[in-house]
Amino acid sequence: MNSGVISVLKPPGMSSGGVLGRIKFILGTKKVGHAGTLDPAAAGVLAVCVGRATRLSQYVMDHDKEYIAEIAFGCSTDTLDAEGKVTEKMECDVTEEELLSVLPGFTGEIEQYPPMYSAIKINGRKAYDLARKGIEVEMKPRIVNILSIEYLGITEKNHFLLKIACSKGTYIRTLLFDIAEKLGYPAHTSVLIRSNCGGTPISEAYSIEEIEEMMQAGDMQFLKSSETVLMDLPEARLRADRKKAIINGLPSTVSLKNGMYRLYCGNEFCGVGLQKDGEMRLSIPLYE
């Protein structure tokens, strides 16, 4: 099995782990991992790394992400989405003007508390497992970066669509809850779609059914090579005869700025190189 990254179009109602299980079965391989969990109730782009490319999981996860979310005012739940138990209800008639008035205050670096119903691990246990057992724990705040919030329109009374670009680690459910709290209303996230992940828009993602059909037909266009995934990194080239040394962990002297590079020895792609203080080392080996 070749290595690479698949942008899977996750359907609502399936866990990220469930997606991995299906992909493992379709591809006939165990070496598969996702780069960033997507809520079971949510849909959209889930980056799945295969083979050697599983070493890129953290790199892909570190990319900014984009979401389309619907905020539903008048009702809040314990999970902050439509799947949870109702915790508060209020009659309201929220206007576009009200919502637009507070959105600028939620862009840039903000502090947010992750929801209890999340995959964050607390003393080795996932927060949502503790929440389901009624065990309350104190969630620590984190700083996230909301790059932009674009208002897309009203879908029905008290329901509004937003497009949100944000840093890794952002919880959209929490963001929408905090926006509503600023206005003095209860609310929950009624629709959540990840529209871009790892630099791949939803239009270029493949459904599980499409991947299965293509695999059966011997067509593996759905699998992006590791080199393609790293095209946003600058390129660094060493002599072809430096491959053995670089693979064995030895540095090469290169006059480049400190940082990460797509590293080649001659014309052969080797992986992610890390340049520091005049020396280049192979940080993430991805050669086949």
Sign for the pseudo-dihedral over CA of 192, 196, 200, 201: positive
Residue 25 sits at the vertex; the CA angle it makes with 23 and 27, to the nearest 5 degrees, is: 65
Closest CA to 2 of 21, 29, 22: 29
Print burial letters for 60-72: b (CB count within 10 Å at least 16), e (below 16): bbebebbbbbbbb
Q: In 56-119, where does DSSP find H-type helix?
A: 57-61, 96-102
Choose the catalytic residue: 39, 178, 219, 232: 39
Instruction: State the Cα–Cα distance between residues 174 and 144, nearest whole angstrom.
Output: 12
Nearest 5 degrees, angle CA 20-CA 23-CA 27?
140
- With H, G, I as helix, E, B as strand and everything else as coil, classify residue 286: coil
Three-state secondary-structure class, residue 9: strand
129 is a catalytic site residue? no
Q: List residues with catalytic annotation.
A: 39
